[in-house]
Structures are given as C-alpha cells and as structure tokens.
Amino acid sequence: MSAPRLLLGFDYGSKQIGVAVGQAITGQARELCVLKAQNGVPDWNQLERLLKEWQPDALVVGLPLNMDGTPSEMSARAEKFARRLHGRFNLPVFTHDERLTTFEAKGRRLAEGQRGGYRERPVDALAAALLLEGWLELQPAPSL
C-alpha cells in the first residue's frame, strides 16, 4: 500500500468517540464529529456511512496509555475497537499514544472562550484531531 493521504482519527471513549479528518500532505487535521457509543460500542452503520463519505486511506485510533506509558484498561478497549475497525472495513488501522490530548483540547477550548472566539467545538473531536496530527508528525513526508 502506498502512504495514506487521507485519514480519519478516533478518540475512543465508552460514551462517545471523537472523530477527526486529516491529510498527510499538510500534516493537519480538523475535528469532524462525535459518535455516541454504548459501553464503547458505536453505531457501526453510522460509522460505515462516515467511512463511505470520506473514503480514508487509513484510520488512526488513540491509545489512552497511563502517564508512565503502561497500558490501561481503556487502552485495551481502544485496541479492540481498532481491531474491529480493521475487521469490518478492511482498512489499515494504526494506534497512537494520545496521552494529554483531551487535556490539551479542553485548554484550547478554554483559551478560545477567553479570547472571545469561542465556538462550540466538541472536546472529543478536537482530541481526535490532536492525536491524528501527532501521528502524522511521526510519518515520513509524502511524495507528491
């Protein structure tokens, strides 16, 4: 497979899953939406519609590790979600350390509000954009 150009990133959670879209050429990502989940299980039909609409080359799932880098209970669930994405949609799925992305997303939202530029930006989707950008930073530059 050639290097992925368009990607969807997922900030996995048990009640909701933040989704972002990013591209390798610019290395940037933006928040897309938040999917509701029941005990970590999304509406797979809704997710399928999202994948058909965006047609990503690959998917990136945030891995919520403990601060010391060890796996957490949620990281095991996120890895299971990643395996299910791959199994259902046959796309390459990567995981990426997402420590502090939700914290950073909340800080960005707070800063925007203080500057008067606040708009409702779902924290989980913004966290997905941050983790996707983090993953993109670690990839070799795409050839045009």
3-class DSSP state for residue 45?
Answer: helix
Q: Residue 66 and residue 69: Cα distance in Å, rounded?
A: 5
Q: Residue 36 and residue 16: Cα distance in Å, rounded?
A: 4
What pLDDT, on the 0 to 100 scale, is given for residue 116?
A: 47
| Cβ neighbours of 119 (radius 10 Å) | 7
What pLDDT, on the 0 to 100 scale, is given for residue 118?
A: 44
> Tell me, which fold does domain 6-137 have in CATH?
Nucleotidyltransferase; domain 5 (3.30.420)
Q: Residue 19 and residue 137: Cα distance in Å, rounded?
A: 18
Q: Residue 97 and residue 92: Cα distance in Å, rounded?
A: 17
Angle between the N-to-C axes of helices 101-115 and 123-137, in degrees from 0 to 180, rounded to the nearest 10? 120
Query: What confidence tens digit (pLDDT) does each residue in 21-69 have?
Result: 999 999 999 999 999 999 999 999 999 999 999 999 999 999 988 888 8
Q: Residue 33 and residue 50: Cα distance in Å, rounded?
A: 10
In the structure, what pLDDT confidence band is assigned to residue 123 with cuts at 50, 70 and 90? confident
Six-digit token pair at 135?
């993953």
